Each structure stands twice: as C-alpha cells, then as structure tokens.
Homo-oligomer: A and B are copies of this chain.
Amino acid sequence: MAVSVLDMSMSLDGYIAGPDDKPGNPGGDGFARLHEWGLTPEGEFHRSGQAGEVLGEMAAAGAVLAGRRTAEQVDHWGGDHHGQGIPVFVASHRPPAPSVADHPLVTYVTEGIESAMAQAKAAGDRHVHVIGAYTAQRAIEAGLLDEVRIHLVPVLFGRGRRLFDVLPSRVELDIVRVIDTPEATHIRYRIRR
C-alpha cells in the first residue's frame, strides 16, 4: 500500500510561503529562500550528497495530492509536476477551471479528500506526495496522512503562510530520521495512530 507523505520546506517559525502569495507570485515574497537547500550554486537541483538523497526520495513519489490554491498558483506545474510524469490529484469542492482539460495528468476530485487520497494511492505503489497547508491539515484530521517530511530551514520568516495553523486535536509523531546539513535540518516523522 502506498504511503502518503506531506513533504514541505518550512522556516523555523513555521512558514511555508512568504507574504503576498498569489498567482504570478507563487509562494509569496522570498519563497525561494525556503528551497535554496535543494539547489547548487548554479541553480540546478542537487543530484548527489545529502540534499540529493533527500530530493531523490521526494522525486520517487508515484502521485501528487495537492490543494487547489497551491495547484492554481503554479498553473498546475504546467500539467506535469516537475517533469515527473506522475498523476496529480487536486482536492476541491468546486470543478476545475476549463484550462485544466489541457492537462491529462491532472484530475480534480470534488468528492472530498478521502476519495482524492484513495485515487492517488491507487495510482501507483510508490508514495503519495501531499502538497499544500490546507490539504495537509485536512488529511491529518481525516487520519489519511502517514508521514511528515519537513525540511526545516534556518530562517525566521516573520510572516507569510504557515504550514500548521489550527488543528482540532493533538497529533503524536515518531521521528524516523534526521539529516543534518548546514542548509536545512531534514526530519522524517511517522504519524502515530
């Protein structure tokens, strides 16, 4: 059974996006700071070393489950999430914009997050990469999330959009692995049931 993984870069004060995030300014002001750890000085994704290992695990996903807000800000990654060629499921209560019909890998699921996650898990035997704060929190609440992988970036953003806002109850995690680099502390957690 595929596991579902929330995989996000986050500032120490809990932000995953800067202020003023919107289409045309996806991730908000200063968003790139949270993702510097993944890039070489030449602006390429790391292919080796500890950052390369972490990126490789992320890229091993078999499907993406994304929130609508995130997906629309980046125009559904042009229809192919980082060139991975894997299906992208968008959980939303409203039908997609007409332009989404141009993206055969993108499927809107309007029947709720349980259905969206089930379809994403059924799409392959590799993990489901969950993206977006709202969707992640609904997945946690619904007991649909298996793992949290946080790339904790040594910066205080001060303001922007937080990954974790308010959850209805406490959630216990188990630390699976910590990778310590100067650019980020990569922590994998399993959600305890």
| Chain A contacts to B: CB under 8 angstroms | 12-14, 30, 33, 140, 148, 150, 152, 154-159, 162-164, 166-175, 178, 180, 182, 185, 187, 189
On chain B, the residues within 8 Å of A150 by CB distance are: 12
Which residues of the other chain, B, contact A167 by a CB distance below 8 angstroms? 13, 156-159
Given contacts A178-B180, A182-B175, contact A189 B158 (CB under 8 A): no
Min Cβ gap A191→B in Å is 9
A150–B163 CA distance with the chains assembled, in angstroms = 18
Please measure, in the bound complex, the distance between the C-alpha atom of A31 and the C-alpha atom of B56, giving whole angstroms. Answer: 37
Q: Contacts of A170 on B, CB cut-off 8 Å?
A: 30, 33, 155-158
Given that A12-B148, A148-B12, A187-B185 are contacting pairs, would A156 and B166 also be in contact in the complex, using a CB cutoff of 8 Å? no
Q: Are B175 and A180 in contact (CB under 8 A)?
A: yes
Q: Which residue of B lies closest to A166 (CB)?
A: B159
Q: Which residue of B lies closest to A171 (CB)?
A: B156
Are the CB atoms of A189 and B159 closer together than 8 Å? no
Q: List 9 A-B contacts (CB under 8 A).
A: A12-B164, A140-B156, A158-B167, A158-B170, A174-B182, A175-B180, A178-B180, A178-B185, A180-B180
Distance in angstroms between the alpha carbons of A154 and B180 in the assembled complex: 16
